[in-house]
């Protein structure tokens, strides 16, 4: 879903993101970079009973990156790791009411960081057992 401008919903998530924060004692971290612009996204998760109990991110990215990552966190919070793995960037962009095609490469940072954080969690917990 592509539009020429940022939607009202996207701008709301950019101006007032709920998940720009550090998670206390995170269980896992996912960090990714945008090769096109050099911006970095860092996402932290806290997991309990197989579910994402807390989630937060930090980035120097643009409005599309901030809003998408905020939406990723909103979708993922309270979900099981298996459910969270199934989210796609299309789900995120649709939830935000679309975005300009040229910003899609920014919007993927959130979902990529979430996947890396889940991988990090699974790797750490595999080595514990
Ligand atoms: Fe760098 Fe969008 S321009 S994340």
Question: What is the distance in A from the centroid of ligand 1 to the CA of 14?
Answer: 13
Edge-to-edge strands, sheet with 40-48: 28-33, 40-48, 51-59
Confidence band of 3 (pLDDT split at 50, 70, 90): confident
Give the residue from 64, 12, 55 showing the smallest Cα distance to 37.
64
- Cα separation, 95 vs 77, in Å, equals 15
Domain range enclosing 38: 3-126
| Predicted pLDDT of residue 36 | 86
Structurally, how many domains does the chain consist of? Answer: 1
Read off the pTM. Answer: 0.94
Question: Tokens 């940072």, residue?
Answer: 109
Q: Which residues line ligand 1 (CB under 6 A)?
A: 34, 37, 39, 61-62, 64-65, 106
Q: Which atom of ligand 1 is nearest to the CA of 65?
A: 4
pLDDT per residue as tens digits for the range 72-117: 999 999 999 999 999 999 999 999 999 999 999 999 999 999 999 9
| Residue 84's CATH number | 3.90.1010.10
pLDDT per residue as tens digits for the range 30-44: 999 988 899 999 999
């Amino acid at each position: 879903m592509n539009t020429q401008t940022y939607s009202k919903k996207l701008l709301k998530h950019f101006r007032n993101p709920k998940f720009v924060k550090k998670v206390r004692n995170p269980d896992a971290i996912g960090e990714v970079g945008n090769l096109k612009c050099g911006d970095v996204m860092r996402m932290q998760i806290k997991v309990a009973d197989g579910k994402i109990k807390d989630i937060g991110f930090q980035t120097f990215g643009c409005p599309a990156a901030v809003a998408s990552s905020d939406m990723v966190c909103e979708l993922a919070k309270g979900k099981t790791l298996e459910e969270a793995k199934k989210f796609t960037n299309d789900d995120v962009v649709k939830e935000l009411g679309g975005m300009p095609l040229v910003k899609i490469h920014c919007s993927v940072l959130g979902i990529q960081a979430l996947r890396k954080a889940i991988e990090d969690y699974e790797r750490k917990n595999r080595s514990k057992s």
